[in-house]
Structure 1
Amino acid sequence: MQYQFAVVCEKDTEGRILALCPALQGCYAEGDTQEEARANIREAIGAHIESRIAHGEALSS
């Protein structure tokens, strides 16, 4: 099954990129570049979804 979630990227005070998924509380990642942050948030979202499914929790999309 495929899911689509909005992701917000912003630069922090040290110049790193923070990527977060507002629909999945606590799901965020960072990277030195926007591309790296996006790749990292994809992994974080996947892990978040796997964990919720494993624990029988509902997903919001």
Structure 2
Amino acid sequence: MKGEFTAIIEAATEGGYWAICPEVPGANGQGETIEEAKESLKSAIQLIFEDRLADIRRGLPKEAIEETISLP
């Protein structure tokens, strides 16, 4: 999976950082450093997309066509 997403990162009141991705509802991450929060967010985004794809594939008929598309 390739793509670019927005990461909004803020300092957490209890220490460390938290991050959200406005393009992917439910995607958030946290870490002691900004880099850890970004890596955590990347993992969350990937897991959400993998889960959504697996979920839709369970209900597809055999004759459904699946192709990859790219955005500029």
Runs of 4+ with >6 A deviation: none
Q: Distance in 1 between matches of 2:13 and 2:54?
A: 36
What is the deviation of 1:15?
2.1
Aligned residues: CA RMSD: 1.1
Q: Which has the higher contact order (CA 8 A, sep 6+)?
A: 1
Larger gyration radius, structure 1 or structure 2 = 2
> In the comparison of the two structures, how many residue pairs are matched?
56
Q: Which TM-score applies when normalising by structure 2?
A: 0.70
What is the deviation of 1:24?
1.0
Q: Which TM-score applies when normalising by structure 1?
A: 0.81
Q: Unaligned stretches of 5+ in structure 2?
A: 57-72
Q: Unaligned stretches of 5+ in structure 1?
A: 57-61
